[in-house]
Amino acid sequence: EIQMTQSPSTLSASVGDRVTITCRASQSIISWLAWYQQKPGKAPNLLIYKASSLESGVPSRFSGSGAGTEFTLTISSLQPDDSATYYCQQYKSYSSFGQGTKLEIK
């Protein structure tokens, strides 16, 4: 099974900040990576697929990059509504998720 490791586990930032979350895979997943946002009591919401493709309807301040084993999710200008937990998911070999990064607004 491919292990996915996210860092940091928690993150506190201010409105307007540029925020970066990292996801590392235990082996190459090429670009088969997705990012999700989850708010309390709700299902996850797809933000990015295939490492860097923005899902329809997702604000353009979200972007994804990387390939192989290291990937990043960037929020270019943090908004209050971005307070949530973010997960990466690999789908190169079956599927597995990272443990999540909880993003708080200062």
Partner 1 sequence: EVQLVESGGGLVQPGGSLRLSCAASGFTVSGNYMSWVRQSPRKGLEWVSLINNDDNTYYADSVKGRFTISRDKSKNTLYLQMSSLRGEDTAVYYCASGGSGGWDLKSWGQGTLVTVSS
Binding of residue 34 to partner 1 (CB under 8 A): yes
Q: Which two tokens stand for residue 23?
A: 């996801």
As measured in angstroms, the least distance from the Cβ of 3 to partner 1 is 12
Single residue of 25, 44, 75, 78 touching partner 1 by CB under 8 A = 44
Binding of residue 106 to partner 1 (CB under 8 A): no
Dist CA 49 CA 88 (whole Å): 10
Q: Tell me how far apart the 2 most distant CA atoms of the chain are, in Å.
A: 38
Q: Which two tokens stand for residue 31?
A: 């670009």
Q: Which of residues 76-95 bind partner 1 (CB under 8 A)?
A: 87, 89, 91, 94-95
CA angle 104, 9, 13 (to 5 degrees): 30
- The residues that touch partner 1, with contacts defined as CB under 8 A, are 1, 32, 34, 36, 43-46, 49-50, 53, 55, 87, 89, 91, 94-97, 99-100
